[in-house]
C-alpha cells in the first residue's frame, strides 16, 4: 500500500541574495500533503507562496535563490538533496505544474501538440506518433473542442482559458502524483475560473493525485481545498482542515483575512473590518512574531519571541503565543 | 425626479480594427455599443462584466479620455460628448478617474506632494500656500501622513499608491469619480482599507461613483445599483439588492453563481458557462449571449432582445435584455 503522505516539507528555509544582503523569503516552513487531497496555500502578495512552490520544484532563480535548510520529501526522495537527473525525471513526470500566466510557461513558437507530446516522449519514452495521439486524448480530457485541429495551433491563437487548459493537459500528460498549481485562475474571469477549477477537481478525483493549490482567494480555498496552509511573511501562520479553518480560525491574521472580505451577506456600504498597517518587507521584519506590528493582541512576549507551530486540534496547527486565549474570544 | 448627475444615452465607442500590411481598417470593434445608464448625485453605480466586455472603454469615454462614436453623455444635463479639449477643461474639475494600477498612473519622478498639487496648478486654484494646505488636507483625508508629500510614489506600497491617486483625483472636488478596478490589484487586507476610504469619501464629500470591477462581491458592497455588461451592451440593470436577490438575466445568474463563496459548508450549485466571451469584433447575431446561454432558443439567434423593464423598486427600474423571464 502506498504511503498516504505524498509530500512532506520540513523546516524549509529559502533565501535570496539581494543587493541589500541575504533575505529569507521562506523561513522554516512545515506542511504535508496527502494523496488524493487538495492542499490550499493562501496568503497575501509576497508571503512566500510561489517561492515555496519553486523550492519544491527546485526551479528557484539561479544563482540568487537557495534552499539553505530543510527537507522536502516526495515519494521517498528528498528533493532538496536530489541530483539533476532525478529532478528532471520528477519534474513534469511525477510532479506537474501550472502557473498563473500560461503564456510564460508555454513555448510561443511551438505548436500545442508538440508541447504536450514532448513531455510524453521525455518521461514515458514513447515515440512521436503515439505521443501525438495521446496528446489528442489529453486535450479532449481537459475539455478542448476539436482537439485534432488544436494540435497544430500556437499558444497565442488560444484564449486565456484555453491556454490554461493546455497547460493542464501538459502538466497531467504523464500522470503525475502531485499537481502544483500556482494561482491557476487569477488571470481568468470568474466564469472561466469556475470551468478550470471544476476541471482540476474532476481530474484529481479521476487520478487520485494530490494537488497543491496556491491562491490568494479565500473563496477558491473554501470551495476547492481539503486542507489549508495560511502563510504570512514567509512563515506558516496556521494550518487546518478547510472546514475547521473557516469555522474556528485561531491565528489573528487568519481572522483578519476572513473578516476583511466583503461577503454577499455583509450589510451594504458598511465599513469593513481591516487589518491595520501592511505586510512588512523581508528587510524590515519585526523581531518576535512577524505579525506583531499589525496584531491587536500583541504583547511584549510577541515582540520578543517567535511563536512556533503548536497543535490546537485534529490537524489544526497555529503559530501564535496566545491562540488559546484568542480561541475563547467571540469574533465580531 | 431631478436631473441625474450623469446620463448616458445610446452611447457607443467603436475602435477601427486594422489588418494587413497597409493597416487598413478591416473591421470594427464595437467595444461599447449603445449603452444608456444614469448615475445619481452622491450615489454609486457599479458596472460588472467579464474582461473585454467594454467596461474600461465605457469609463474612459465618460471622462472623455476617449471620443464616443455616437450617442450622448449628459453631465448635469449638459451634453459633453462633443466638447472640444478647451471646453472640456472646466469639466475636469467635476469628473475624474481612478485606475487599477496606481503605479502606472503616477509619474514617479515627482514627489507625492507635487503629484497631488498638479491638478490644482493646472486649474489655477489658490496661492502656493493655499495649495500646500490643500495637499495636507487631502493626504489626511486619504489616510496618509503629511510627511508623505516629500516622498516619491515608489517609496509606497500598492495600497498607499492607490490612496495617492485617489487624493489626486479628488483634489479639485469632483462630483463624479469613475473608478476602474480600483482595488483589483490589492491584497484583501488592503482592499478593505481602500473600500472603506471610498465609502468615507462618499459620506463626507457627497461623491458619486461609477465603480467598475469584475468582483461582484466588492461591487455589491459599494453600489446602490448595478449594471451588468456583456459585449458592449447592458444585459441587466437594477437596484443592488434587487439584482443580487433576484437576478433575471441568465448571464447575471451565471456570474453570481460563479463567485467562489468563502464558506466551505456551502458548496454552491452553479451553472458553469461554457466557452469564453466572443470577440466584440464579430459579435454573435441576435442576443449577444446566445452562444453561451443555457436557455438559448432559435429566436435568440435571430432577434436581439431590447432592454425592457421587468420590475421596479421605488424609482429604480429593473431592466433586462432577454426575450424571456427567468
Ligand atoms: N528572485 C528574487 N530575488 C529576491 N527576492 C525574491 C525573488 N523572488 C521572490 N523574492 C521575494 O520573496 C518573497 C516571497 O515571494 P513570492 O513570489 O513567493 O510571493 P507570493 O506569496 O507568491 O506572492 P504573490 O501572491 O504576489 O504571487 C517576496 O518578498 C519577494 O520579494
Ligand atoms: N484603445 C483601444 N484601441 C482598440 N481597441 C481597444 C482599445 N481599448 C479597448 N479596446 C478593445 O475594446 C474591447 C473592450 O475593452 P475594455 O473596455 O478594455 O474591456 P474591459 O474593461 O471590460 O475588460 C476589447 O475588445 C478591447 O480589446
Ligand atoms: S504571537 Fe502575538 S503578535 Fe503574533 S499573532 Fe499571536 S498574539 Fe499576535
Ligand atoms: S435572449 Fe435568449 S440567449 Fe439571450 S439571454 Fe435570453 S434566453 Fe439567453
Ligand atoms: Mg506568487
Ligand atoms: Mg478593464
pLDDT in tens, A211-237: 999 998 999 999 999 999 999 999 999
Q: Which of A191, A269, A278 sits opposite B199 (nearest CB)?
A: A269
Provide the edge-to-edge strand list for the sheet that holds B176-180.
B95-98, B176-180, B208-212, B44-48, B225-230, B233-239, B316-320, B308-313
Task: Scan residues 265-304 of A and list those with Cβ closer than 8 Å to B.
Answer: 266, 268-269, 271-275, 278-279
Computed over every residue of chain A, the mean pLDDT equals 92
Bridge partners of A66?
A: A15
CA of B145 to the centre of ligand 3 (A): 27
Q: What is the DSSP letter of A161?
A: H
DSSP secondary structure string, A21-71? EEEEEEEEEEEEEETT-EEEEE--TTSSHHHHHHHHHT-PPTTTEEEEEEE
Lowest model confidence (mean pLDDT) among A41-45, A143-147, A269-273, B220-224: A143-147
Residue B216 sits at the chain A interface (C-beta within 8 Å): yes
* Global pTM value: 0.89
How many residues are recorded in chain A?
A: 332
Residue B51 sits at the chain A interface (C-beta within 8 Å): yes
Q: Do A223 and B191 touch (CB under 8 A)?
A: no
Residue A146 sits at the chain B interface (C-beta within 8 Å): no
Going residue by residue through chain B, which has 326 residues, state the pLDDT in tens, using 9 for 90 and above: 579 999 999 999 999 988 777 777 788 999 999 999 999 999 999 999 998 899 999 999 999 999 999 999 999 999 999 999 899 999 989 999 998 877 777 877 899 999 999 999 999 999 999 999 999 999 988 988 899 999 999 888 788 888 999 999 999 999 999 999 999 888 888 889 999 999 999 999 999 999 999 889 999 999 999 999 999 999 999 999 999 999 999 999 999 988 888 999 886 677 788 888 888 888 899 999 999 999 999 999 999 999 999 999 888 999 999 999 98
Bridge partners of A72?
A: A9
CA of A323 to the centre of ligand 3 (A): 8
DSSP secondary structure string, B132-171? HHHHHHHHHHTT--GGGGGS-GGGS-HHHHHHHHHHHHHT
Quote the minimal CA–CA distance from B90 to chain A in Å: 31
List, for residues A268-293, the tens digit of each pLDDT value: 999 999 998 888 888 889 999 999 99
User: Which residue of B12, B13, B56 sits with most ligand 2 atoms within 8 Å of its CB, as the best mutation to test the pocket?
Assistant: B56
Number of A to B CB contacts under 8 A, please give it: 130
**Ligand nearest to C-alpha A63:** 1
- Residue showing cell 487531497: A37
CA of A130 to the centre of ligand 5 (A): 36
Q: What is the model's pLDDT at position B175? A: 96
Coil, strand, or helix at residue A185? coil
Q: What is the model's pLDDT at position A300? A: 97
d(CA A137, CA B6): 53
Amino acid at each position: 500500500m502506498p504511503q498516504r503522505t505524498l509530500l512532506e516539507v520540513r523546516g524549509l528555509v529559502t533565501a535570496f541574495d539581494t543587493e541589500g544582503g541575504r533575505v529569507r523569503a521562506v523561513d522554516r516552513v512545515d506542511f504535508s500533503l496527502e494523496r488524493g487531497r487538495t492542499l490550499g496555500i493562501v496568503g497575501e502578495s509576497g508571503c512566500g507562496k510561489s517561492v515555496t512552490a519553486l523550492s519544491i520544484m527546485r526551479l528557484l532563480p539561479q544563482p540568487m535563490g537557495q534552499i539553505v535548510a530543510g527537507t522536502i520529501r516526495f515519494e521517498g526522495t528528498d528533493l532538496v538533496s536530489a541530483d539533476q537527473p532525478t529532478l528532471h525525471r520528477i519534474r513534469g513526470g511525477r510532479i506537474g505544474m501550472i502557473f498563473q500566466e500560461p503564456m510564460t510557461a508555454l513555448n510561443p513558437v511551438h505548436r500545442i501538440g508538440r508541447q504536450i507530446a514532448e513531455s510524453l516522449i521525455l518521461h514515458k519514452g514513447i515515440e512521436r506518433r503515439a505521443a501525438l495521439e495521446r496528446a489528442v486524448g489529453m486535450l479532449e480530457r481537459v475539455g478542448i473542442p476539436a482537439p485534432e485541429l488544436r494540435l497544430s495551433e500556437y499558444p497565442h491563437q488560444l484564449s486565456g482559458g484555453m491556454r490554461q487548459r493546455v497547460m493542464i493537459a501538459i502538466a497531467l500528460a504523464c500522470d503525475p502524483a502531485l499537481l502544483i498549481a500556482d494561482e491557476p485562475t487569477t488571470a481568468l474571469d470568474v466564469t472561466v475560473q469556475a470551468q478550470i477549477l471544476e476541471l482540476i477537481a474532476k481530474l484529481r478525483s479521476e487520478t487520485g493525485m494530490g494537488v497543491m493549490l496556491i491562491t490568494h482567494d479565500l473563496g477558491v480555498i473554501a470551495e476547492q481545498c481539503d486542507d489549508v496552509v495560511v502563510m504570512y511573511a514567509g512563515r506558516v501562520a496556521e494550518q487546518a482542515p478547510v472546514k475547521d479553518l473557516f469555522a474556528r480560525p485561531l491565528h489573528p491574521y487568519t481572522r483578519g483575512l476572513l473578516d476583511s472580505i466583503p461577503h454577499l451577506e455583509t450589510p451594504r456600504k458598511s465599513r469593513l473590518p481591516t487589518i491595520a498597517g501592511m505586510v512588512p518587507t523581508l528587510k524590515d521584519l519585526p523581531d518576535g512574531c512577524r505579525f506583531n506590528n499589525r496584531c491587536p493582541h500583541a504583547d511584549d512576549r510577541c515582540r520578543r519571541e517567535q511563536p512556533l507551530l503548536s497543535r490546537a486540534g485534529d490537524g489544526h496547527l497555529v503559530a501564535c503565543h496566545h491562540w488559546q486565549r484568542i480561541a475563547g474570544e467571540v469574533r465580531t | 425626479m431631478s436631473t441625474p448627475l450623469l446620463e448616458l444615452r445610446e452611447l457607443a465607442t467603436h475602435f477601427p480594427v486594422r489588418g494587413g500590411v497597409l493597416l487598413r481598417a478591416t473591421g470594427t470593434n464595437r467595444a461599447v455599443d449603445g449603452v444608456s445608464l444614469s448615475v445619481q448625485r452622491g450615489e454609486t453605480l457599479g458596472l460588472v462584466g467579464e474582461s473585454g466586455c467594454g467596461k474600461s472603454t465605457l469609463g474612459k469615454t465618460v471622462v472623455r479620455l476617449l471620443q464616443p462614436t455616437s450617442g450622448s453623455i449628459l453631465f448635469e444635463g449638459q451634453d459633453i460628448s462633443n466638447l472640444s479639449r478647451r471646453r472640456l477643461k472646466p469639466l475636469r474639475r467635476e469628473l475624474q478617474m481612478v485606475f487599477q494600477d496606481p503605479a502606472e498612473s503616477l509619474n514617479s519622478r515627482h514627489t507625492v506632494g507635487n503629484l497631488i498639487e498638479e491638478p490644482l496648478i493646472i486649474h489655477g486654484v489658490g496661492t502656493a500656500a493655499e495649495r500646500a494646505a490643500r495637499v495636507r488636507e487631502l493626504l489626511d483625508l486619504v489616510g496618509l501622513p503629511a510627511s508623505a508629500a516629500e516622498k516619491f510614489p515608489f517609496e509606497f506600497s500598492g495600497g498607499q499608491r492607490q490612496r495617492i491617486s485617489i487624493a489626486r483625483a479628488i483634489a479639485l472636488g469632483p462630483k463624479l469619480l469613475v473608478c476602474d478596478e480600483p482595488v483589483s490589484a490589492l491584497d484583501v487586507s488592503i482592499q478593505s482599507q481602500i473600500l472603506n476610504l471610498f465609502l468615507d469619501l462618499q459620506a463626507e464629500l457627497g461623491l458619486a461613483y461609477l465603480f467598475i470591477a469584475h468582483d461582484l462581491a466588492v461591487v455589491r458592497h459599494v453600489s446602490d445599483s448595478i449594471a451588468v455588461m456583456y459585449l458592449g451592451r447592458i444585459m441587466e440593470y437594477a437596484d443592488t439588492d434587487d439584482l443580487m436577490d433576484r437576478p433575471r438575466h441568465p448571464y447575471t445568474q451565471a456570474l453570481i453563481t460563479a463567485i467562489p463563496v468563502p464558506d466551505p459548508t456551502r458548496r454552491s450549485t452553479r451553472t458553469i458557462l461554457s466557452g469564453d466571451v466572443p470577440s466584440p469584433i464579430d459579435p454573435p447575431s441576435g442576443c449577444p449571449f446566445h452562444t453561451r446561454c443555457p436557455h438559448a432558443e432559435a429566436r435568440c439567434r435571430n432577434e436581439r432582445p431590447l432592454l425592457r423593464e421587468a420590475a421596479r423598486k421605488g424609482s429604480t427600474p429593473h431592466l433586462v435584455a432577454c426575450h424571456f423571464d427567468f
